[in-house]
Structure 1
């Protein structure tokens, strides 16, 4: 069959599919507005079906795989799309949901004559693949058709043609789904079993964030009877990044998943009982100036994020628990005594795994019920005696300690009473801050941990947790989130080579994986970078020199582009050089999104002002910014992580801007570029380049 005849046949099939989908949409009646519960549930099902059909109407499918089941089946064309659709009035599938078991063939099969297989609910199904075809469909028309495998034909170099075409497209201000181009190594992560903490080490541009989002959609499909979207949560590095990824899940037909930052979540958990110090103040402290390796290693953030500090907190909690049960008897009236041994028995046997403050409050209530029952049994009705008994009860239970999470945490740092093992300087700074009822970002993990131990989780436990940029998380943060699940079910992703928050993050994944028992952990590596051209990836790899933490360097997809440029700029004409570069790129018209990446926030403000004065419509990315708008932007390098742009200009890559400890910062900045990268430098180029 010729390409032209294949296209015509597929276009006819597409037209028929769209006609069927439109007819099904028209057949769905109006929303139910009444109070009948059964009708409400039926209406919700209809609404979910309508949403699936709306998704399918935009692009019914993106792939086809012709599969012949062994031993005696016939080749059958299977069309794969974002949502499964049956033909109107029939159980025959028009489109197979990409999350269905058989659809895994589309992602796992890479060619060859050997049998392929997939896991079905009834066991392994094997067979032969006869055709693997990719589509791009826009407004009811097939605009691209690529056969990546045809059985019996000699395999050429077309395997990645469709992928390279999609990678070569310009990007806007939102992350998009990759459901049509999921690669085999990504699909294995997406379809991994749910009952584990899955750790993903992924190089810049490997698609790890998108993979994690697709995994959420898969889990909701595969475990629909055990997992709920509203009991899932995504932790992202900042609100702007949340906005950037906000379109992926709706495109996959998934809603209601909570999306937040660790700071915002912890602040809500603490019921806003402290004022939160601006996180940008902490970032500014570390990124606006060069810090020594010793300062980083001994930072208060690294100390408070460690499991050693958690042990100090646990010791304080244990001391509190010891004091909950009184060691003296309670005597409400003469001749009536509640012995400590009985109170201890109540506490140890009746309250199980409840939280500490719940245990404390239940013990107080039990003591009150005991003395009121005893007074009733003894028929003591005298109001004066009962009043004195109540006063004695209040005085007795007042001595049973009671803490808020902030109060207990503050007691760790109080002057000469500060807990052993806390460096004096850290104790003094933290104590002073908490005395003003303020907390820094580094305090949120221990505060949240104490809150969970004292009061528990206010809502249901999470069915699944996604943690993005996890290399910037501390072990203490991950331990806090582990406590929010009954069974470990997490997707923890990041890149050690982008660990720019060294003052608080990790150096090795073992710092986080060790929190779980070995059977609960899965580990994957994504080393292929799909974002940038070969030239950009190879250039960025050289910045880091030898990889640390056992991480392999990024391997680029074979997509060549322009060479990476560098140019010296005189300090007096530096801003003008930035403007002229941006103007040239705009005139060439190749790029939808352009970013000028500066070293500091102050530097970015100067650049942004100059670009505005030069007539450009440019936006300045700041730490509190809720959204990224695309177009031309100026962004501090430490806020650029997770974003991507068609073209990137590093404003100053001079040796004064980037020292030896800034390799990961510069690496992050350079790997934001998809197609074009240029570095200006005032004075000599940083020695990080050319290692």
Structure 2
């Protein structure tokens, strides 16, 4: 079949599928609004079906693979889409859900005549692939068809043609799904076993965030009935990034998954007993001025986030738990005696693995019941005697300590005891802030840990946890999140090369994975960058070339573009030149998103003023901003991480802006660009880029 005939046949097939989907949608009645529970459950099932059909109606499928199963006479064409759809009349599958076992062939098969197989619930199924076809469907119309494999034909260089076409598209203000272009190494992560904590080291542009989101959709499909979306959670670095990724899961037909930051979640868990010191204060301190390596090493975040600090708090918790056991007898009335040995026996035999304060509550309740039993057994009816006994009870139980997490944290950090946990000055300053009800970001992991140890989680366990930008997490944060699961089931992703918050984060994934039980973790490394052109990735790799480390440099997908430009600029002409470059890019009308990236928030304010003065409309991003709106954006480099833009202008890449310790920071800025990158520099260019 020639290309034109194939296209016409696919158009006819698509028209037939869309017609059937419309028929099915038309047969679904109105929503049920009554109180009958059975009808409510049926209505929920009907609504789920309607949403699945609506998803398929917009974009019925994106791929086709003709698979001949062993023992079958003919190959069968299988169409892969975001939602599975069966034909209304016969129940034959029109579209197979991308998460179904057989769909893995579409992602894992890369060509050749050798037999292939996939794992089904009934075991391994083998066979032969005769055709692999990529299809771009938009608004029920077939826009593009690319055959990446046809049996019997000599393979040429079209294998990545569809991928390169998708990568070359312009970006808007939201991250999109990659379900039609998932690569083999990404698919392995998505389909990995649920009961693991997967650690994913992914270079800039490797799709690690999107892979993690697709993994959530896969787990809900694969383990339907055993895990629930409302018991999953995504931790992102900031609210703006949450807004940026907010469209991916709905595009995949998934809802109800909590998406938050660690700070927001922690404050809510602590029932807002503390307020958070504005994060801008910390960010401005670390990024508005240079710091030496000793400051990074001894930073508050690194000390409070360490495993050593967690273990020191564990010792204090053991002491607290021991103090729950009264060492004196309870004697409410003369001759009445409840011995410490009896209370210890209750504590050790009846309270199991409950939280510390729950054990205290049960101990107090047990003592109260003992007194009530004694009063009843001795037939004490005199109100004054009973009141005296109750007063003794209240006095006795008040001596059994009770704390909230902030109260205990403050107590532990006060005086000589605090100096045994942290450097004396740090312990004192932290305790002082807590008197005012204020915490810093690095205090949240210890507070969450103490809260769960003291009060437990009840039924608030998570079936699966996603941690994005995890290189900026401390070991203590992971320890706190471990307590939120009955067994490890996590997707932990990041890039050590983008670890710009080294005053609080990690330098090796073993610092996090080593906190989990042996055999409960997996590790994947994604070194292919799908975001930027070859020229941009090669340039960014040069920025990191002087750094030591075990992480492989990014390998670009072969997509060539414009040369990266380093341009000198005078102080007096700087603002005007920024505006000239931006205006020239806008006039080309090929870039939907342009970013001017500054070194600091203060510098970004200057940039924004210069662009505004030149008549350009730009959004100014800061740490308090909840959303990214696309278009022309001015953003500090440390807030740009995770975002991507068609074109990026680094406002000043001079030596005074990016010194030897700022390689990761400049790398982050450069790798935000998809198609074009230009760097201005006032004075000498940064030594990080060599002879550019």
Instruction: Indicate yes or no: 2:636 matched with 1:641.
Output: no
| Alpha-carbon shift at residue 416 of structure 1 (Å) | 2.9
The residue aligned with 2:111 is 111
> How far, CA to CA, are the matches of 1:293 and 1:630 in structure 2?
36
- Asked if the contact 2:87–2:94 (Cα under 8 Å) also holds between the matched residues in 1, the reply is yes
The residue aligned with 2:131 is 131
- Asked if the contact 1:312–1:419 (Cα under 8 Å) also holds between the matched residues in 2, the reply is no
- Please tell me the root mean square deviation across aligned C-alpha atoms, in Å: 0.9
The residue aligned with 1:181 is 181
Give TM-score scaled by structure 2 length: 0.99
Instruction: Indicate yes or no: 2:583 matched with 1:583.
Output: yes
Offset from partner CA, 1:549-576 (integer Å, 9 cap, x none): 4110000000000000010110011011
> How far, CA to CA, are the matches of 2:344 and 2:436 in structure 1?
37
| Alpha-carbon shift at residue 460 of structure 1 (Å) | 2.3
Offset from partner CA, 1:189-228 (integer Å, 9 cap, x none): 0000000100000000000000000000000000001010
| Alpha-carbon shift at residue 458 of structure 1 (Å) | 4.8
> How far, CA to CA, are the matches of 1:398 and 1:549 in structure 2?
55
> How far, CA to CA, are the matches of 2:495 and 2:652 in structure 1?
24
- Asked if the contact 1:302–1:474 (Cα under 8 Å) also holds between the matched residues in 2, the reply is yes
> Cα–Cα, structure 1 residues 409 and 498, in superposed 2: closer, same or farther, change >3 Å?
same
2:572 is paired with a residue of what secondary structure? helix
> How far, CA to CA, are the matches of 2:478 and 2:65 in structure 1?
41
Instruction: Indicate yes or no: 2:316 matched with 1:312.
Output: no
The residue aligned with 2:527 is 527
> How far, CA to CA, are the matches of 1:656 and 1:635 in structure 2?
19
> Cα–Cα, structure 1 residues 58 and 302, in superposed 2: closer, same or farther, change >3 Å?
same
1:333 is paired with a residue of what secondary structure? coil
The residue aligned with 1:398 is 398
| Alpha-carbon shift at residue 434 of structure 1 (Å) | 1.2
The residue aligned with 1:223 is 223
**Which ranges of structure 1 fall in alignment gaps of 5 or more residues?**
none
1:688 is paired with a residue of what secondary structure? helix
Instruction: Indicate yes or no: 2:263 matched with 1:263.
Output: yes
> How far, CA to CA, are the matches of 1:265 and 1:280 in structure 2?
18
| Alpha-carbon shift at residue 602 of structure 1 (Å) | 0.3
**Which ranges of structure 2 fall in alignment gaps of 5 or more residues?**
none
The residue aligned with 1:511 is 511
> How far, CA to CA, are the matches of 1:537 and 1:458 in structure 2?
47
1:361 is paired with a residue of what secondary structure? helix
The residue aligned with 1:69 is 69
1:134 is paired with a residue of what secondary structure? strand
Alignment of 1:666-685 (within 5 A): 666-685=666-685
Offset from partner CA, 1:573-629 (integer Å, 9 cap, x none): 101110000011011112100000000000001111121121111000110111000
> How far, CA to CA, are the matches of 1:393 and 1:538 in structure 2?
74
- Asked if the contact 1:650–1:680 (Cα under 8 Å) also holds between the matched residues in 2, the reply is yes
The residue aligned with 1:557 is 557
The residue aligned with 1:596 is 596
Instruction: Indicate yes or no: 2:12 matched with 1:12.
Output: yes
The residue aligned with 1:628 is 628
Give TM-score scaled by structure 1 length: 0.99
- Asked if the contact 2:236–2:261 (Cα under 8 Å) also holds between the matched residues in 1, the reply is yes
| Alpha-carbon shift at residue 323 of structure 1 (Å) | 0.5
Instruction: Indicate yes or no: 2:658 matched with 1:662.
Output: no
> How far, CA to CA, are the matches of 2:28 and 2:614 in structure 1?
54
Instruction: Indicate yes or no: 2:236 matched with 1:233.
Output: no
Offset from partner CA, 1:114-165 (integer Å, 9 cap, x none): 1011000000001000000001112222111000000111111000000000
| Alpha-carbon shift at residue 548 of structure 1 (Å) | 4.1
Offset from partner CA, 1:477-510 (integer Å, 9 cap, x none): 0111111001110000000000000000000000
- Asked if the contact 1:351–1:359 (Cα under 8 Å) also holds between the matched residues in 2, the reply is yes
> How far, CA to CA, are the matches of 1:436 and 1:501 in structure 2?
27
> How far, CA to CA, are the matches of 1:82 and 1:402 in structure 2?
52
> How far, CA to CA, are the matches of 2:402 and 2:43 in structure 1?
49
- Asked if the contact 1:547–1:553 (Cα under 8 Å) also holds between the matched residues in 2, the reply is no
- Asked if the contact 2:413–2:421 (Cα under 8 Å) also holds between the matched residues in 1, the reply is no
| Alpha-carbon shift at residue 427 of structure 1 (Å) | 1.1
Offset from partner CA, 1:166-192 (integer Å, 9 cap, x none): 000000000000000000000000000
> How far, CA to CA, are the matches of 1:229 and 1:677 in structure 2?
39
| Alpha-carbon shift at residue 546 of structure 1 (Å) | 4.8
Alignment of 1:29-44 (within 5 A): 29-44=29-44
The residue aligned with 1:321 is 321
The residue aligned with 2:347 is 347
Greater CA deviation, 217-226 or 426-435? Answer: 426-435
Instruction: Indicate yes or no: 2:472 matched with 1:472.
Output: yes
The residue aligned with 2:294 is 294
| Alpha-carbon shift at residue 426 of structure 1 (Å) | 1.2
> How far, CA to CA, are the matches of 1:627 and 1:93 in structure 2?
40
> How far, CA to CA, are the matches of 1:546 and 1:326 in structure 2?
61
> How far, CA to CA, are the matches of 2:617 and 2:421 in structure 1?
53
> How far, CA to CA, are the matches of 1:115 and 1:546 in structure 2?
45
Q: How many residues align?
A: 691
The residue aligned with 1:368 is 368
Greater CA deviation, 407-416 or 125-134? Answer: 407-416
1:571 is paired with a residue of what secondary structure? coil
- Asked if the contact 2:418–2:428 (Cα under 8 Å) also holds between the matched residues in 1, the reply is no
> Cα–Cα, structure 1 residues 508 and 3, in superposed 2: closer, same or farther, change >3 Å?
same
| Alpha-carbon shift at residue 382 of structure 1 (Å) | 1.4
Offset from partner CA, 1:451-489 (integer Å, 9 cap, x none): 000111154210000000000000000111111001110
Alignment of 1:17-166 (within 5 A): 17-166=17-166
1:65 is paired with a residue of what secondary structure? strand
The residue aligned with 1:538 is 538
- Asked if the contact 2:421–2:427 (Cα under 8 Å) also holds between the matched residues in 1, the reply is no
Offset from partner CA, 1:421-462 (integer Å, 9 cap, x none): 411221122122112111000100001100000111154210
> How far, CA to CA, are the matches of 2:380 and 2:46 in structure 1?
65
Offset from partner CA, 1:526-551 (integer Å, 9 cap, x none): 00000000000000001001554411
| Alpha-carbon shift at residue 522 of structure 1 (Å) | 0.6
Offset from partner CA, 1:242-264 (integer Å, 9 cap, x none): 00000000000000000000000
> How far, CA to CA, are the matches of 2:199 and 2:263 in structure 1?
21
